[in-house]
Amino acid sequence: MIRVLMIGPDRSVHGGISGVVNNYYEAGLDHRITLHYIGTMVEGGKLRKLFKAAGAYVKFLTKLPFYEIVHVNMASDNSYRRKAVFIRTAHFFHKKIVIHQHGGDFETFYYKEQSAKGREKIQKILKMGDAFLVLAPLWKEFFGRMIGEEGITVLPDSIAIPEAFSKEYDNHNVLFLGRLCKEKGIGELLSCVPKLVDKVPDFHLYLGGIWEDKELREIAQSDKEHITWLGWVSGEDKKSWLAKCRMLVLPSYFEGQSVSLLEAMAYYCGIVASDTGGIPQMIRQEETGLLVPPKDAEALAEGLLKLLQDDELCWRLGDGARNKVEKEFGIEENMRKLIGIYESLLG
């Protein structure tokens, strides 16, 4: 059986990569290969994160001799810096390396935050991968300029598809799932609420996530009549909210891909999302949802209002989204492709 040592953020972390990894475990990837996962980062203060990273590296060294492939889940910034150490180590010990790039803002990190020498070091690290996985075709083009496109495979995030059901669009509830911060477009979203309430009096926004911005949290708390904070939503609770809200909104400034968007598609939600990153791979304008420019509160409000006031359009786009996620983003096909990549590395 193929032996894979996988690293990434701790599975308890509230974030996209952890969600992807947990989906693999729930779908039984660990029963199809010999899989051991090491979490390299936890939420909390700097000291807690430092101890976690150091402990993870020691554990990695003890496990490494017993595994053929090292699968590195990576984003940008500190995620890249941590993972670079593991990649170098795996390369030194001649292990096959899969670099799985999840981040949506690597372009800023690479071009605006690095010197020419820093970019050279990043290229050197990324070229150590025997396979390089990205979430969307645009990222294949982007990373292809650094390391060549030959070894890059597009492997979108995926989910387990729930049983079909008949969704009701008789409410005006809009759901957001993710980090509650400026970069997710929460400021623009909150600024839309008065206009939406004026046109649709029973409009209600449900925010599922962890606050990372005190000022935005205070704005949301000032209108409890139309805005409800749910805390971090997962498991059966998440499924329940996806089923009963007619829409999901994702006004991110940048996005690699979005598991929450796939989940909303699977639950027939009408979707309004930013035209950025890997989102257009999932949301086709007027087919599976509505795309709006990032950082554009007026366009966001117009998109939301369009689906709030048109039940038939919301149903049509929700049904289209469900069909697309069934055909292209099911986790069984994703795991088949991933195992095929592992097999190809081992010859």
> In this structure, is residue 168 part of a structural domain?
no
What was the pLDDT predicted at 219?
97
Residue 347 pLDDT:
87
Retrieve residue 68's tokens. 């053929």
The separation between the first and the last C-alpha atoms of the chain, rounded to the nearest angstrom, is 13
* Cβ neighbours for 223, distance < 8 A, ≥ 6 positions apart: 193
Where do runs of H (alpha helix) occur along 148-276? 186-199, 214-221, 235-244, 259-266
**Euclidean distance between CA atoms 270 and 293, whole angstroms:** 17
Quick one: 205 and 323 in the same domain?
A: yes
Regions of the chain short of the pLDDT cut 50: none
CA separation for the pair 343, 234 (Å, rounded)? 33
Domain match, 238 and 140 both: no
Exposure of 94 in the CB half-sphere (CA atoms within 13 A): 0
**What Rg do the C-alpha atoms of the chain give, in angstroms?**
21
Same domain (yes/no): 178, 123: no
**Environment class of residue 36 by beta-carbon count within 10 Å: exposed (0-12), middle (13-18) or buried (19+)?**
middle
In a domain, 165, yes or no: no
- What CATH number has the domain bearing residue 324? 3.40.50.2000
In a domain, 167, yes or no: no
Rounded to two decimals, the pTM is 0.90
Kindly give, in sequence order, each residue whose CB lies less than 8 Å from that of residue 31, ignoring residues fewer than 6 positions away: none
CA geometry: angle 241, 243, 248, nearest 5 deg = 70
Three state DSSP letters for 91-115: HHCCCEEEEEECCCCHHHHHHHCCC
Q: Are residues 341 and 219 in the same domain?
A: no
Q: Tell me what pLDDT residue 273 has.
A: 98
Task: Let me know whether 228 and 318 are in one domain.
Answer: yes
Candidates 175, 206, 330; CA nearest to 266 is: 330
- Residue 293 structural domain: 173-328
| One domain, residues 179 and 323 | yes
Identify the pLDDT of residue 92.
98
Quick one: tokens of 306? 């369009």
**CA–CA separation, 18 vs 44, rounded Å?**
16
CA dist., res. 35 & res. 334, Å (int): 16
CB atoms closer than 10 angstroms to residue 95: 18
Query: Looking at the domain assignment, is residue 87 inside a domain?
Result: yes
User: What single-letter DSSP state applies at residue 183?
Assistant: G
The answer to whether residues 155 and 14 belong to one domain is yes
Q: Which two tokens stand for residue 88?
A: 């170098």
* Residue 338: strand, helix, or coil: helix
Residue with tokens 């008949």: 166
Give the model's pLDDT for residue 300.
98
| Separation CA 267–CA 83 (nearest Å) | 34
Q: For residue 82, is it within any domain?
A: yes
Residue 314, both tokens: 């919301």
Q: Distance (Å, rounded) from C-alpha 258 to C-alpha 271?
A: 12
Q: Establish how many alpha carbons lie within 13 A of residue 139's alpha carbon, considering only the half-sphere containing its beta carbon.
A: 28
DSSP H helices in 28-157: 29-32, 46-63, 77-92, 106-112, 116-126, 137-147
DSSP state of 276: -
Neighbours of 22 (CB within 10 A): 15
Q: Residues 272, 340: one domain?
A: no
The pLDDT assigned to 14 comes to 87
pLDDT confidence of residue 15: 82
Task: Answer yes or no: is 18 within a domain.
Answer: yes
Judge if 190 and 266 occupy the same domain.
Answer: yes
Q: Is 139 helix (H, G, I), strand (E, B) or coil?
A: helix
Same domain, 105 and 242: no
State whether 129 and 209 are in the same domain: no
Beta strands in 181-324 (DSSP E): 204-208, 227-231, 247-250, 270-274, 290-292
Q: Is there a contact between 206 and 241 (Cβ–Cβ < 8 Å)?
A: yes
Domain count of the fold of the chain: 2
315-331 pLDDT, tens digit each = 999 999 999 999 999 99
290 and 191 share one domain:
yes
